[in-house]
Amino acid sequence: TLDISEFYSPPSKKLESGIEVLYMCILQEKNWIFPKSHKVFALFYLGCNIKAIKCSDKSINMQLTFGAWMSDASRPDDRIWVAEHFSGHIFRQLKNISDTKQKFIDIEKYYQGCGHVVYKNSFYFHNGGTNNLLKFTLNTKNTSSLEMPNSKYKGLRYLFHNSKTYFKFAVDENGLWVIFASYTDSNTMVAKLDPDAFFVLSIINTGYPSAKAGNAFIVCGVVYFTDNNDKRVTYAFDLMTQSYLDASFDLRAGDGTLAMLSYYPNKRLLYMWDNKSARTCKIKFKNT
Q: What is the CATH number of the domain that holds 34?
A: 2.120.10
Q: Report the first-to-last Cα separation within the chain, whole angstroms.
A: 29
Name beta bridge partners: 216.
225
DSSP 212: G
Query: How high is the pLDDT of residue 47?
Result: 56
What is the average pLDDT across 121-130?
98
Q: How confident is the model at residue 11 (pLDDT cuts 50, 70, 90)?
A: very low
Total domain count for the chain? Answer: 1
> What digits encode the pLDDT tens for the residues 157-199?
999 999 999 999 999 999 999 999 999 999 999 999 999 999 9
Domain that holds residue 81: 4-285
Among 90, 81, 148, which residue's Cα sits nearest to residue 118? Answer: 81
pLDDT of residue 170: 98
39 HSE (CA, 13 A, CB side):
11
Residue 115 one-letter amino acid:
G
Q: What are phi and psi of 41, to 5 degrees?
A: -55, -35
**Cα angle value 100/105/110 (rounded, 5°):** 125
| pLDDT on residue 145 | 98
Band of pLDDT at residue 131, cut at 50, 70 and 90: very high
pTM of the model: 0.85
